[in-house]
């Protein structure tokens, strides 16, 4: 028999906490059968809803990993003028260090 009730809205965190409480109660001794069945039904509903939410978030993360739906950024040189930011002026080339170390590192390289 399908459930026609309006779903109860709650956050993922609240649903997960409720599921843990249900699991603790079910594990206790001498839980009346009728309460056990009610808790099991509630827990199963939470499991379905939480799994669906996690699947949706996983899909969202996969989309973000592909670079879709992400915030766009454009990096400009520190102290760049408006013309440089607009691209109407060419930015100077970065010089390589060729001193005694001979690392070939960029002078403006950011240490990691």
63 in a structural domain: yes
45 in a structural domain: yes
Average pLDDT, the chain: 84
pLDDT, one tens digit per residue, over 28-69 is 999 999 999 999 999 999 999 999 999 999 999 999 999 998
37 in a structural domain: yes
How many residues are given for the chain?
Answer: 112
SS3 at position 106 = strand
100 in a structural domain: no
Percent of the chain at pLDDT > 90 equals 60
110 in a structural domain: no
pLDDT of 95 reads: 56
The residue to which tokens 């509630």 are assigned: 42
22 in a structural domain: yes
pLDDT of 2 reads: 56
pLDDT of 84 reads: 76
Indicate the number of domains in the chain: 1
d(CA 46, CA 52): 10
68 in a structural domain: yes
- Which residues form the domain of 28? 8-89
d(CA 15, CA 53): 11
95 in a structural domain: no
């Amino acid at each position: 028999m399908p459930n026609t009730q309006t779903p109860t809205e709650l956050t993922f965190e609240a649903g997960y906490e409720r599921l843990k409480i249900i699991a603790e109660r079910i594990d206790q001794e001498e839980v009346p059968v009728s309460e056990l069945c009610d808790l099991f039904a509630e827990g199963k509903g939470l499991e379905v809803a939480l799994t669906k939410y996690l699947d949706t978030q996983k899909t969202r993360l996969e989309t973000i990993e592909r670079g879709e739906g992400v915030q766009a950024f454009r990096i400009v040189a520190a102290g760049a003028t408006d013309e440089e930011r607009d691209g109407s002026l060419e930015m100077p080339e970065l010089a390589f260090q060729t001193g005694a170390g001979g690392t070939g590192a960029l002078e403006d390289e950011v240490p990691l």
